[in-house]
Structure 1
Amino acid sequence: MTQSDAEQDLSTQIGENLPYLRRYARALTGSQERGDRYAAATLETILADRSVMMAGLGVKPALFRVLHSVWKSGKTDVIFDSDDALFGAAQKHMAKLTENTREALLLHTIEGFPFGQVAAIMDIDQSEAEHLVQTAQREMADSISGRVLIIEDEPLIAMDLEGIVADLGHRITGNARTRDEAVKLGRAEMPDLILADIRLADNSSGIDAVNDILGQFGTCPVIFITAYPERLLTGDRPEPAFLISKPYQQESVRSAVSQAMFFASTETLRA
């Protein structure tokens, strides 16, 4: 393979993993716009010096390693609006966490990196990566409990999600199988968190259901679950900070629920 071919192959692989890099950055910041600034800064860093893509690590973890270095150094030239109340509240919450715990938790449970790769991305020992994830899970689970609305049309999945949420100490306000049911439940009791599938029983949209609830009754963090995450990670429209792929791992749901409740500034989609 020539150098030109190798560079083209690297660019292709980076492009394939860019949606997931953006998802990670968005979950870190709680905002699509802020997350995309970090993703863009990551690409600029790589363009300036291809050697930052750590050899032997694999393209995806190497890409995340560069983003992590950008995140830690703050080299984004972004001036955050101090009048952004949600972002300010999120920063206060994050300040209570042990340093580096949230990053490790996201990398391991949402992005699915094994502890060895989490350690390489964060430039720490594997034992420390494992300890950081355990610490994050404990600190977030102990910090906030609230009301959760589940929007899911598959009964077995709905029951599983209810069990996960209840085990975390949250109260389920109900489970909706359609858009209309979701709005009715949201009207009866506004949740602190919504956990929603995209495609519902009557072919209505979970995205529409969530937007109806938030538009009529107020804002809250949202976690979307879908079998086709790549269709929503396009950058063409607002994207959710937390997007879980089906089939999901229970640990991924636990992590997303804890972080969404803790961070409380996730964005939703507009259909």
Structure 2
Amino acid sequence: MNDRTEGSSLTTRIGQELPFLRRYGRALTGSQTSGDAYAAATLEAILEDSSLFDGDASTKTALFKVFHSIWDSSGAQIEVEAEGLEAKAQAHLKNLTKNTREALLLRSLEDFSTDEISEIMMIDRGEVSHLLDIAEQEMSDAIRGRVLIIEDEAIIAMDLEALVKSIGHEVVGLAQTRDEAVELGKREKPDLILADIHLADKSSGIDAVNDLLAHFGEIPVIFITAYPERLLTGERPEPAFLISKPYVEDQVRSAVSQAMFFASTETLSA
């Protein structure tokens, strides 16, 4: 295989993992702008020096490892004009124990193993386990709020309700259609929306969320869907938190805790 073919193959493999890197960057920074800036910086670094890319690791692990080297060297911050939820996110980040949130996201959102997290963050396995324990506690204790669940499958809706309540949040209601979600949301004004895309009457969870955001302004949203590629398009706005079905319970708990943590307002009680 010649150099050009190898380069083309690497580009293809990285391209397949890029949506997940961007998802991670957004969840890590609390901002699409900041997350995409880190993802772009990662690609630029690899283009400038391909030796940064660890050919012995999986493509995803190697890509995230380069991302983390940039994240660490930049002081875990890219200069952007912060406002609204992003400003709150940056303020909250300062209160977290170093490296805990990174480890938690790598495990719960991106499904990396302890060994892979160790390689990505360049720390030993014992430290990874310790960071995960701290992260779970800090996130679950950080904030309490009110959650609207938009999901047309009754069993899944009840499961999500139980998960949300298990980490101390209030569920203001379950909606199966766009109209139900908008009516319930406007009446209850949730602090967080947990939504599927395809609803019972063939209406759209995305449209329901957009209606509520147009009414209230900024509210954090977590989409749980069997079609993540429909939201990971590179177009604005993209959700900072996106979970694929079938989901793992830890993914939901982590995303809810972190979304609440980032978007806390005066209406939330600590």
Range into which the TM-score falls when normalised by the shorter chain: over 0.9
In the superposition, the TM-score normalised over structure 2's length comes to 0.94
Is 1:221–2:220 an aligned residue pair? yes
- Matches of residues 89-238 of structure 1 in structure 2 within 5 Å? 89-238=88-237
Whole-Å separation in 1 of the counterparts to 2:153 and 2:45:
44
* Superposed structure 1 runs of 4+ greater than 6 Å apart: none
CA distance in 1, matches of 2:102, 2:233: 23
Identity %: 61
- Once the two structures are superposed, what CA deviation does each residue of 1:12-62 show, in whole Å capped at 9, x if it has no partner? 100000100111111112221221111110000000111101131111100
Moved more, 112-121 or 53-62: 53-62
* Map of 2:59 onto structure 1: 59
Partner in structure 2 of residue 5 of structure 1: 5
Amino acid at match of 1:176: A
Amino acid at match of 1:199: H
Matched residue of 1:20: which SS?
A: helix
TM-aligned CA deviation for residue 66 of structure 1? 0.5
Instruction: Summarize the Cα distance change of 1:98–1:77 in structure 2 as closer, same or farther, 3 Å threshold.
Output: closer
Answer whether contact 1:196 1:222 (CA < 8 A) is retained.
yes
Q: Give distance in 2, aligned partners of 1:252 and 1:229.
A: 14
Q: How much has 1:78 moved relative to structure 2?
A: 4.6
Runs of 5+ in structure 2 lacking a partner? 265-270
1:72 matched residue in structure 2: 72
User: Which residue number corresponds to residue 267 of structure 2?
Assistant: none
What is the one-letter code of the residue matched to 1:247? Answer: P
What is the identity, as a one-letter code, of the residue corresponding to 1:49? D
Any stretches of 5+ residues in structure 1 without a counterpart? 266-271
Question: What is the one-letter code of the residue matched to 1:31?
Answer: S
- CA displacement at 1:194 relative to structure 2: 0.5
Return closer, same or farther for 1:237/1:85 CA change in 2, 3 Å cut-off: closer
What CA RMSD, in Å, does the superposition of the two structures yield over aligned residues? 1.6
Could you say which residue in structure 1 is the equivalent of 2:87? Answer: 88
State the distance in 2 between where 1:155 and 1:30 align.
Answer: 30
Contact 2:26 2:36 in 1 (8 A): yes
Give me the whole-angstrom Cα distance separating, in 1, the residues matched to 2:75 and 2:250.
32
In structure 1, C-alpha distance between the alignment counterparts of 2:2 and 2:14, rounded to whole Å: 18
CA displacement at 1:75 relative to structure 2: 8.6
Counterpart residue type for residue 127 of structure 2: E
